[in-house]
Amino acid sequence: MTQEAVVTDTRWLSSPEMATWMNLTQLLMLLPSALDRQLRDDAGIPHAYYQILAMLSNEPGHSMRMTDLARLVGTTTSRLSHAVTSLEQRGWVRRKACAFDKRGQIASLTDEGMAVLEASAPGHVAEVRRLIFDRLTPDEVDQLREITAKILPAAAS
């Protein structure tokens, strides 16, 4: 394919699309840093660790397979394993072999991990509200949920 064909086949972003894309990319860069900063300052943990604890807390028995947990928190199994090792050292999570898959492991939230999550959750939720939901109307919250639900499958593939 010639360079001319590539240029003519490209669907360039319109001005409104470009403005939206620039806002979204800035949000995707700034939001994780803001959430991480708040959790480190208030609870002494990074946002990634909070997410792991929060996802485990929502599961039956506060446990789930490591591969499923990695998918849920949006990271690789290697990065998750490193984070869970740190959480294990703090006594907040424990790992055990999966009963039905010899290669699999189950991560479980400990009582101490749940206590850390419960202590840090109010400040984190307040920051999420301050940064996002306090700035939106209920209709805009619905729209944001619908929009992100449409985009997530493509990003996850």
What pLDDT, in 10s, does the model give residues 79-106? 999 999 999 999 999 999 888 777 789 9
Enter the pTM of the model. 0.84
Whether 22 is in a domain gets the answer: no
Whether 107 is in a domain gets the answer: yes
Q: What is the model's pLDDT at position 101?
A: 75
What are the residues facing 95 on neighbouring strands? 107
What are the residues facing 64 on neighbouring strands? 107
Number of domains in the chain: 1
Whether 108 is in a domain gets the answer: yes
Q: Exposed e or buried b for every residue in 67-96, given b needs 16+ CB within 10 A? A: eebbebbebeeeebeebbeebeeeebbebe
Q: What is the model's pLDDT at position 98?
A: 82
Q: Show the domain range for 103.
A: 35-156
Mean pLDDT of all residues in 6-21: 88
Mean pLDDT taken over the chain: 92
| Minimum mean pLDDT range among 5-14, 55-64, 80-89 | 5-14
Whether 13 is in a domain gets the answer: no
Q: What is the model's pLDDT at position 95?
A: 95
Whether 51 is in a domain gets the answer: yes
The candidate with the shortest Cα–Cα distance to 45, out of 108, 116, 106, 144, is 116
Q: CA 111 to CA 113: how far, in whole Å?
A: 5
Q: What is the model's pLDDT at position 155?
A: 86
The CATH code of the domain that includes 117 is: 1.10.10.10
- Tokens representing 88? 């294990």
Whether 16 is in a domain gets the answer: no
Whether 119 is in a domain gets the answer: yes
Whether 112 is in a domain gets the answer: yes
DSSP the chain: --HHHHHHH--PPPHHHHHHHHHHHHHHHHHHHHHHHHHHHHHSS-HHHHHHHHHHHTSGGGEEEHHHHHHHHT--HHHHHHHHHHHHHTTSEEEEEETTEEEEEEEEE-HHHHHHHHHHHHHHHHHHHHHTGGGS-HHHHHHHHHHHHHHHHHHH-
